[in-house]
């Protein structure tokens, strides 16, 4: 874990998850080896040949569901296996 002034970064060699607390929500950023264009993802940006940076907002604890947890596991393994 790497806490910085405005973000908490979780690392497995490199950063696999950035947590950005905001006034009305928490913004998550994580990498995947594929692009996801479905809710609750609000943006996906290609950052390299096979990597996409995904952004989503959490407004309630209930926003953390099995799909999000699966994506975060996938992000962790993508980063830690390289």
Alpha-carbon span 46 to 67, nearest angstrom: 21
Alpha-carbon span 21 to 5, nearest angstrom: 10
Q: What is the pLDDT of residues 57-77, one digit of tens each?
A: 999 999 999 999 999 999 999
Alpha-carbon span 65 to 9, nearest angstrom: 20
Going from N- to C-terminal start, the domains of the chain cover 2-80
Q: What percent of the chain has pLDDT over 90?
A: 76
Average pLDDT over residues 40-64: 94
Spatial CA neighbour of 26 closest among 68, 81, 76: 68
Residue 62 DSSP class:
G
H or E segment at 72?
helix 66-80
Average pLDDT over residues 21-39: 94
pLDDT of 39 > 90? The answer is no
- Amino acid 82: pLDDT: 67
Query: Model-level pTM?
Result: 0.89
- Amino acid 13: pLDDT: 84
């Amino acid at each position: 874990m790497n806490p910085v002034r405005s973000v908490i970064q979780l690392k497995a060699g490199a950063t696999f998850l950035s947590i950005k607390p905001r006034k009305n929500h928490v913004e998550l950023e994580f990498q995947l080896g594929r692009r996801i264009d479905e809710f609750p993802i609000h943006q996906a940006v290609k950052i390299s040949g096979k990597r996409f940076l995904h952004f989503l907002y959490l407004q309630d604890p209930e926003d953390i569901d099995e799909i999000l947890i699966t994506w975060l596991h996938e992000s962790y393994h993508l980063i830690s296996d390289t």
